[in-house]
Amino acid sequence: MIKRRTLPVNPPLVDQFPPEARTQRRRLRACHECDWVSGLPPLNSGENASCPRCSHVLAKRNRHPAQRSMALAIASLIALIVAVSFPFISFSVSGVSNRIELVQTATTLIGFHQPIVAIAVIMTIAVLPAVYLIGVLWLQFGLLRNHPLPFSRDIARTLAHLTPWMMADVFIIGALVSLIKVAGLADVELGISFWAFCVFAILLLMTTQSIDADWMWFSLEGEPLAPEGTQTGMTAAAQGVTGCPTCGLINRLSPQGRSYCVRCHEKLHQRIPYSLQRTWALLAASAIMYIPANVYPIMTTTSLGNSTTSTIIGGVVQLIEMGSWPIAAVIFIASVIVPMGKLAALTWLCIVVRRSSDLNTQSRTRLYRLTEFIGRWSMVDVFVVAILVALIRAGSLMSITPGPAALAFGAVVVLTMLAAMTFDPRLIWDTPLPPRQPIFRRRTATKEPVDG
């Protein structure tokens, strides 16, 4: 019997040691929310490094990040393929039945002259997640080979911008709300696609959480030295540097006005240009769109030849009359409380951002984080309309058509999300000191030059 000689298989460098073990110098970060410069400590698996000033997470460390992300991305793609290949939901009433697939929740809207809503639905629940997962596979495969594939840097930079716009988990909530509405009118049967999409939504969320951005960027492009003389324990703006919003690297700002990160080539600014002006404009546009979103019907229901229109508030009242208090509460919170609360919160932040430091900066920062997190959940009502329009198609016996409020409400959700993205939370911490208070600089051990 001849034994074949096998070559030793070396584990990939990306999973051998964390960045702290592969460099002899201290790595610095400027917080994206308060601009405070800190040094990253050595991190073990499962640990996070947070900003000492505002508690924003600067870096997190996962165990075997490349293998974990790649395995989750493969499982997510398989679940998505199953979800788009089999029946999603079917219903039957009085001998009339209909069965839809996942993609039909978007394509049916095109037939009702709602192409923009249809594009938004299919992009947020399938296209963007698929692009994200393929990008993760491309990146992690290259890292596991210890040789990044072409365009890895551009793909890694794109992934950070895609994350807020993937709404598979929100779509699941919309599907559950739709089932509650239809259950009292017809017999509903869940297909293989429904359960596969539930698994896909969970796996997609786990994939996004498994990305160790600090480790990934270090493995892709290394980490250039921080600008000479950079000090911890003070803001980056005071030193003429800034932290990259994508990869976290501290860069020196160019006096010519245009600066790009030396590691990921993301465009850099000391503060987002015209942050307050852009936020005010987006808030005004979303407030204007919020009026037709609530005045006009979001869908029209036809039953036995009689048509009734339903607004967002009307749908909540209808659910209450049906006895579905929990679902009514979900719709009311997601479609009424969240948009109004987000408009009010961002408006208040824009007003007080230039006030004196008497106001609590920590509380304002937490409020900003909350508004940024909850904004996407308002899409529940748009997804409910998309599912019901595709599913309930039985002619004059029973059918549902989308109303003009669907487009207006979708615009409100997108505009408020953009408003939160254009608002620069670092402005909260740029508040001037109260009058007659002497300005001085303390000498502490944390302000020694690092890497300079």
For the segment 74-124, what is each residue's pLDDT rounded down to a tens digit? 999 999 999 999 999 888 776 677 788 999 889 989 988 889 999 999 999
Dist CA 162 CA 281 (whole Å):
23
Residue 314, pLDDT score: 83
Which residues of the chain carry a pLDDT beneath 50? 1-10, 358, 433-452
Over the range 2-21, which residues count as b (16 or more CB within 10 Å of their CB) and which as e? eeeeeeeeeebebbeebbbe
Residue 228, pLDDT score: 85
CATH 1.20.140 range(s) for the chain read: 272-432
Classify 50 as helix, strand or coil.
strand
Summarize the chain as % helix, strand, coil (round to 5): 55, 15, 35
Q: Which CATH architecture has domain 272-432?
A: Up-down Bundle (1.20)
Task: Note the pLDDT tens digit of each residue in 149-187.
Answer: 899 899 999 998 999 999 999 999 988 888 887 776 677
Instruction: Return the structure tokens found at 395.
Output: 């002619």
Residue 437, pLDDT score: 41
Residue 433, pLDDT score: 44
CB 184 within 8 A of CB 323: no
